[in-house]
């Protein structure tokens, strides 16, 4: 058997032995005696008696080993025309002092800190400082509007919020403090302190008594050492979109996370100490948490932190410039970024301007990688392009081509094979094995995956574990071919993926439905050449309501309430929505029609004429 088959088999037949071996790459204050606590299924805990600190393993450990002068973070910001290197020693110093700032503001082990920052090194410092204290960070993506930020604040109840005066998009500077002010006004559990990072592009006026200046506070702070925490202590909460308007607070623990990410850096990404990894994503998403911050740092790599876009900062050659100037070995981004580059530079002419001889791999995830984009990237770059599939919930790849363990011949459209620890199955609605259907994972999930949702075991059970008892419901559908290759075809629920950003159609519907002219609505994700999917609304008006101006109103409302990333592509006023006899809106059928797919109409449809009336609108 090959190395992959051996590892995979062992991870399922003797998970304790497999993950005990992996846990030796982490430095523990008290190494775990027990590897898996399976005494209370369907809840499982990894390394329940281990004690460690994630920040120690990501930062201090490398300084202590004599690698303090190695670059930990290479910040590259075309939008501010600046670059900065943070060595491991500098990262340790700033993190220890920022931990001192947080402690001074009353943050202790287990307390939450919300981080609402753009892609600046201080975001990494803030996350690691929380980890250092055993506090729990919750990073909120900078593209979310005040209401979304407020909802996350209310759920996590942070003691402190860390923000900046602004973020910088391609065409404009976005002032963050007004967004924060609005969010704090909407929230019922506003934190007592705000740490404010002033940026010269748009300095903000701080509020006396609440706001603390990042630089002043850091200058005065006492460094704090790493606090030993239980492996099962939460490291962070990351909110993600579910099928309802209420985001889910995915919890990540310390021990399982450190072990799994360390394992993945070596065996999936084939990326090692001293090498450079660049994940072009945002720290607000799980991809950023795992492979901008924790994964590369746990492995002692250099991580590139890029504050820019694939196109427009300044052109479609930006990715090649960054990869070449920072001698990147491993690059990771979302397929949509490559579609944007291809749109602007179809032949890849910009590539000729840069030396990419160090670049060994391109990893893509966050949405389905269409074979066209895969082939384009592979042919232009001439290196392995690795499609891999995972979710906020799992924290690291469920399926991938394990480049550091045993590379497999790639198959376009497939995320290759399940990673060790993930017993992936495909089942029908009744839970019976099927050739094509819902993708589920037999419990227990491996280390690094979510142990539960923040303070909501009930919702964790209801969302993931009740549909098919003993299995985790991924929410994705697909199939496994005869050689064991997994093909992930798309969500089977109401989650959509817009430019690699995960959104809930339910959340958008809630905003649309709040408009006084709207009686009923449905939001569906429809195929888009650049962004993969975009949201589209079908609206039934209240009797007597006027459709004039509704399109613009609804588009503005979604931007204001959720953010520009959820912008509606189109609004159609319709006479009625197609439903089943029990009143369920037939979103999947409408989505199929809009995408030109031959979607079967359920036998339970209430009135086929309603759907017939929509066909032309959906197909236009």
Residues binding ligand COA (CB under 6 A): 142-143, 167, 169, 174, 281-282, 285, 287, 309-311, 333-334, 336-337, 340, 366, 499-500, 530, 564-565, 567
Candidates 81-89, 208-216, 361-369, 557-565; binding stretch for ligand AMP (CB under 6 A): 361-369
CA atoms within 13 A of residue 115's CA, in its CB half-sphere: 30
Quick check: 497 binds ligand AMP (CB under 6 A)? Answer: yes
Integer Cα distance of 139 and 113 in angstroms = 8
Helix (H, G, I), strand (E, B) or coil at 236: strand
Please report whether residue 414 would count as binding ligand AMP according to CB under 6 A.
Answer: no
- Out of ligand AMP, ligand COA, none, what residue 174 binds, judged by CB under 5 to 8 A for its kind, is ligand COA
Residue 388 neighbours by CB distance under 10 Å:
25
Nearer to ligand COA, 285 or 472 (CB): 285
Near ligand AMP in 385-404, by CB under 6 A: 387-389, 391-392
Spatial separation of the C-alpha atoms in residues 235 and 521, rounded to whole Å: 39
Binders of ligand AMP among residues 203 to 232 (CB under 6 A) are: none
**Of these, 491, 536, 579, 591, which contacts ligand AMP (CB under 6 A)?**
491
Q: Closest distance between ligand COA and the C-beta of residue 388, in Å?
A: 11
Asked if 415 touches ligand AMP (CB under 6 A), the answer is yes
**In the complex, minimum distance from the CB of residue 591 to ligand COA, in angstroms, rounded to a whole number:** 20
Chain-centroid distance of CA 213 in Å reads 29
Q: Does 421 bind ligand AMP (CB under 6 A)?
A: no
475 is an interface residue for ligand AMP by CB under 6 A: yes
Contact 355, 314 (CB under 8 A): no
Backbone φ and ψ of 225, nearest 5°? -85, 170
We find the least distance from the C-beta atom of residue 464 to ligand AMP, in angstroms, to be 12
Strand partners, 438: 427, 477
Q: How far is the CB of 145 from ligand COA (least distance, A)?
A: 9
Enumerate residues 319-338 that contact ligand AMP by CB under 6 A: none
Q: CB nearer to ligand COA: give 250 or 611.
A: 250
Nearer to ligand AMP, 327 or 411 (CB): 411
Q: List all residues 6 or more positions away from 182 whose beta carbon is below 8 Å from its beta carbon.
A: 146, 150
Taking the C-alpha atoms of residue 347 and residue 229, their distance in angstroms, rounded to an integer, is: 51
Look at residue 341 and give its three-state secondary structure. helix
Q: Which of 266, 327, 260 is nearest to 299 (CA)?
A: 266
CA distance 191 to 182: 13
For the window 265-304, what string marks contact with ligand AMP as x by the rule CB under 6 A? --------------------xx------------------
Interatomic CA distance for residues 247 and 245, integer angstroms: 6
Give the number of other Cβ atoms within 10 Å of residue 206's Cβ: 15
Candidate segments 13-21, 259-267, 305-313, 384-392, binder of ligand AMP by CB under 6 A:
384-392
| Chosen from ligand COA, ligand AMP, none, partner binding at 309 (C-beta under 5 to 8 Å by type) | ligand COA
Residue 380: name its binding partner from ligand AMP, ligand COA, none (Cβ under 5 to 8 Å by kind): none
Six-digit token pair at 96? 């220890």
The encoded tokens of residue 244 equal: 């309802």
Closest approach of ligand AMP to the CB of residue 286, in Å:
5
Q: Give Cα separations from 389 to 43, 392, 403, 437 (angstroms).
A: 23, 11, 14, 16
Q: Sort residue 217 into left (φ over 0), alpha (ψ -120 to 50) or beta.
A: alpha
Q: Binds 160, which of ligand COA, ligand AMP, none (CB < 5 to 8 A, cut-off by type)?
A: none
Quote the least distance from Cβ 233 to ligand AMP, whole Å.
23
Return the residues of window 501-540 that contact ligand AMP according to CB under 6 A.
502
Decide: 268 and 404 in contact? Cβ < 8 Å: yes
User: Is 220 exposed, middle or buried, given 0-12, 13-18 or 19+ CB atoms closer than 10 A?
Assistant: exposed
Q: Say which residue the tokens 């459709």 belong to.
A: 547
Buried/exposed code over 122-135 (b: 16+ C-beta within 10 A; e: otherwise): bbbbbbbbbbbbbb
Interaction partner, residue 281 (ligand COA, ligand AMP, none; CB < 5-8 Å by kind): ligand COA
Instruction: Indicate which single residue of 488, 577, 585, 618 sits in contact with ligand AMP (rule: CB under 6 A).
Output: 488
Least distance between ligand AMP and beta carbon 168 (Å): 23
Cβ(241)–Cβ(141) under 8 Å? no
- Residue 99 contact, options ligand AMP, ligand COA, none, Cβ 5-8 Å cut-off depending on partner type: none
Q: How far is the CB of 335 from ligand COA (least distance, A)?
A: 9
Residues that bind ligand AMP (CB under 6 A): 240, 285-286, 365-369, 387-389, 391-392, 415, 475-476, 488, 491, 497, 502
């Amino acid at each position: 058997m090959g190395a992959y088959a051996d590892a995979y088999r062992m991870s399922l037949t003797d998970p304790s032995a497999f993950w005990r071996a992996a846990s030796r790459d982490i430095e523990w204050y008290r190494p775990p005696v027990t590897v898996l606590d399976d005494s209370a299924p369907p809840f499982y805990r990894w390394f329940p008696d281990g004690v460690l600190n994630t920040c120690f393993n990501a930062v201090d450990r490398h300084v202590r080993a004599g690698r303090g002068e190695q670059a930990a973070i290479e910040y590259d910001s075309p939008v501010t025309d600046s670059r900065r290197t943070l060595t491991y020693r500098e990262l340790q110093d700033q993190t220890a002092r920022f931990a001192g700032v947080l402690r001074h503001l009353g943050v202790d082990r287990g307390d939450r800190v919300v981080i609402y920052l753009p892609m600046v090194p201080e975001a990494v410092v803030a996350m690691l400082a929380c980890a250092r204290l055993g506090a729990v960070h919750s990073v909120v993506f900078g593209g979310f509007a005040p209401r979304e930020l407020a909802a996350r604040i209310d759920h996590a109840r942070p003691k402190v919020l860390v923000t900046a005066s602004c973020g910088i998009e391609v065409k404009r500077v976005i002032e963050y403090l007004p967004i924060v002010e609005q969010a704090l006004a909407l929230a019922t559990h506003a934190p007592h302190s705000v740490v404010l990072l002033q940026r010269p592009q748009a300095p903000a006026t701080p509020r006396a008594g609440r706001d603390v200046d990042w630089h002043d506070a850091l200058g005065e702070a006492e460094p704090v050492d790493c606090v030993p925490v239980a492996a099962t202590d939460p490291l962070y909460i990351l909110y993600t979109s579910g099928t309802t308007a209420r985001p889910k607070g995915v919890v990540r623990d310390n021990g399982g996370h450190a072990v799994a990410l360390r394992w993945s850096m070596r065996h999936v990404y084939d990326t090692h100490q001293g090498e450079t990894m660049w994940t072009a994503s945002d720290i607000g998403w799980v991809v950023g948490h795992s492979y901008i911050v924790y994964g590369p740092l746990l492995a002692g790599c250099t991580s590139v932190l890029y504050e820019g876009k694939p196109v427009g900062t300044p052109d479609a050659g930006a990715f090649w410039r960054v990869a070449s100037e920072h001698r990147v070995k491993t690059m990771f981004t979302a397929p949509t970024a490559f579609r944007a580059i291809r749109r602007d530079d179809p032949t890849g002419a910009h590539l000729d301007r840069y030396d990419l001889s160090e670049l060994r791999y391109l990893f893509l995830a966050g949405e389905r990688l269409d074979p066209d984009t895969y082939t384009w990237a592979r042919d232009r770059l001439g290196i392995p392009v690795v499609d891999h599939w995972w979710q906020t919930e799992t924290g690291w790849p469920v399926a991938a081509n394990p480049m550091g363990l045993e590379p497999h011949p790639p198959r376009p459209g497939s995320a290759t094979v399940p990673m060790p620890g993930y017993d992936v199955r495909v089942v029908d609605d009744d839970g019976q094995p099927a050739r094509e259907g819902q993708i589920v994972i037999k419990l227990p999930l491996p280390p690094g995956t979510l142990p539960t949702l923040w303070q909501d075991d009930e919702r964790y059970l209801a969302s993931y574990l009740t549909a098919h008892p003993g299995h985790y419901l991924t929410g994705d559908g697909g199939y496994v071919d005869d050689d064991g290759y997994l093909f992930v075809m798309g969500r089977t629920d109401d989650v959509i993926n817009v430019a690699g950003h995960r959104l809930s159609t339910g959340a958008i519907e809630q905003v649309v439905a709040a408009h006084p002219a709207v009686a009923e609505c449905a939001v569906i994700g429809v195929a888009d050449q650049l962004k993969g999917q975009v949201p589209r609304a079908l609206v039934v008006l209240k009797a007597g309501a006027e459709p004039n101006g509704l399109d613009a109103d609804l588009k503005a409302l979604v931007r204001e309430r959720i953010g520009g990333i959820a912008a509606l592509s189109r609004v159609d006023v319709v006479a009625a929505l197609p439903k089943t006899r029990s009143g369920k809106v037939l979103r999947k059928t409408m989505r199929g029609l809009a995408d030109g797919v031959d979607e079967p109409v359920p036998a339970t449809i209430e009135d086929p004429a309603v759907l017939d009336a929509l066909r032309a609108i959906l197909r236009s």
